């Protein structure tokens, strides 16, 4: 089998039903299967999947993962997958009909281990004035990505990684690099968000390469309840916590982990935080005030979000000081499917 398409879901039977209908319209000659991993839902997720399976054009497999967290569910799906290539999307996304063919073409054209593409918005509410309709810090919060119209290698020259809502990875890459560290991913009550980046950093160090394929397109629903400033503030706060945990595990730059080359054992720290980050915090604070005086709502809110990022980062590092960086045991070895 060429592809296993994996969707992890939690209490979103309504949007899942629409996503399944969209996936049923995929046009490809490649053999594929669909795996839906139910992450302990209490709604009618299972019956929704079973109803869709009756008329779905390929085999649909329902799996249950009781451990809370998207990446716990994703690891379960990966272990159960029969395809040579693992393609992932979300229960609130819509893929283009040629999605799998575009992914396969990219993998073969660049002889690489994974590919990812554009994630464009499907707005479900009015876009507020403080949210620009272009790539930037704000887009990371609502899981959107657009790196232009030309293919480019991920992880080179500081280029960040694909989003899990639109990614296809050769299964052997997980065999070589292990699974996701689910403790760095979102789970109930948190917005932790560095499991995907941690895996890619780990994989990159092992020689695994991937490319951005602009023709590989997914549209991601942006619900109205996420178009509020408090959601963005909370997400950036947890982003700071997540980056601090990543620092504890890998020792990479908390602001720019992908191109990180500093030896942080030689960088001056204050209460567990590299000293230069305090200067960066003050710089963002002053820039926020300047942009507020200019009545630039986009720029002022972006600088405010950076302050929330630093708040989460400082909180996590101060929590660990003076004990120092905590080193995790490796939870990412391949585990049997449930």
Angle between helices 297-320 and 229-250 (to 10 degrees): 40
Opening angle at CA 89, ends 184 and 259, nearest 5: 50
Check whether 336 has a pLDDT greater than 50.
Answer: no
Query: At the topology level of CATH, where does 3-228 sit?
Result: Spore Coat Polysaccharide Biosynthesis Protein SpsA; Chain A (3.90.550)
Determine contact, residues 328/250, Cβ cutoff 8 Å: no
Show me where the domains of the chain are located: 3-228, 231-320
Pairing of β 269-270 and β 273-274: antiparallel
pLDDT digits (tens, 9 = 90+) for 135-152: 888 999 999 999 999 999
The predicted structure's pLDDT at residue 187: 78
Contacts of 265 (CB under 8 A, 6+ apart): none
The predicted structure's pLDDT at residue 195: 95
Coil/strand/helix, residue 221: strand
Check whether 329 has a pLDDT greater than 80.
Answer: no
pLDDT digits (tens, 9 = 90+) for 242-273: 999 999 999 999 999 988 888 898 999 999 99
Check whether 306 has a pLDDT greater than 60.
Answer: yes
CA 214 to CA 194: how far, in whole Å? 23
Average pLDDT over all residues of the chain: 93
The predicted structure's pLDDT at residue 322: 56
% of the chain residues with pLDDT over 70: 95
The predicted structure's pLDDT at residue 297: 95
Instruction: Name the more confident of 157 and 112.
Output: 112
Determine contact, residues 168/85, Cβ cutoff 8 Å: yes
Local confidence band at 212 (pLDDT 50, 70, 90 cut-offs): very high
The predicted structure's pLDDT at residue 154: 96
The predicted structure's pLDDT at residue 330: 40
Check whether 66 has a pLDDT greater than 60.
Answer: yes
The predicted structure's pLDDT at residue 189: 76
Backbone φ/ψ region at 330: left (φ over 0), alpha (ψ -120 to 50), beta: beta
């Amino acid at each position: 089998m060429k592809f296993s398409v994996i969707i992890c879901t939690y209490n979103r039977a309504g949007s899942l039903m629409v996503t399944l209908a969209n996936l049923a319209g995929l046009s490809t000659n490649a053999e594929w299967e669909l795996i839906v991993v139910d992450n302990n839902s209490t709604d009618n997720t299972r019956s929704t999947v079973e109803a869709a399976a009756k008329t779905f054009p390929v085999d649909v497999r329902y799996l249950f993962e009781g451990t809370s967290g998207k990446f716990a569910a994703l690891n379960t799906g990966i272990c159960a997958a029969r395809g040579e290539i693992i393609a992932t999307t979300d229960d609130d996304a819509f893929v283009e009909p040629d999605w799998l063919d575009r992914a396969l073409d990219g993998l073969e054209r660049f002889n690489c281990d994974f590919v990812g593409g554009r994630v464009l918005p499907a707005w479900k509410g009015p876009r507020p004035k403080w949210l620009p309709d272009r790539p930037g810090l704000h887009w990371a919060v609502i899981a959107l990505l657009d790196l232009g119209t030309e293919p480019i290698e991920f992880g080179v020259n500081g280029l960040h990684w694909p989003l899990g809502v639109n990614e296809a990875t050769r299964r052997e890459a997980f065999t070589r690099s292990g699974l996701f560290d689910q403790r760095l991913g979102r789970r109930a009550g948190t917005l932790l968000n560095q499991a995907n980046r941690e895996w890619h950093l780990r994989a990159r160090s092992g020689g695994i390469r991937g490319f951005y394929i602009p023709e590989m397109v997914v549209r991601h629903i942006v619900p109205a309840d996420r178009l509020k400033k408090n959601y963005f503030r909370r997400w950036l706060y947890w982003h700071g916590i997540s980056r601090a945990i990543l620092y504890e595990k890998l020792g990479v730059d908390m602001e720019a982990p992908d191109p990180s080359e500093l030896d942080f054992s030689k960088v001056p720290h204050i209460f567990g935080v590299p000293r230069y980050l305090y200067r960066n915090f003050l710089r963002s604070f002053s820039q926020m005030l300047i942009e507020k005086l200019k009545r630039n709502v986009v720029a002022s809110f972006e600088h405010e979000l950076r302050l929330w990022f630093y708040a989460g980062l400082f909180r996590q590092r101060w929590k660990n000081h003076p004990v120092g960086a905590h080193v995790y045991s490796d939870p990412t070895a391949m585990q049997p499917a449930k």
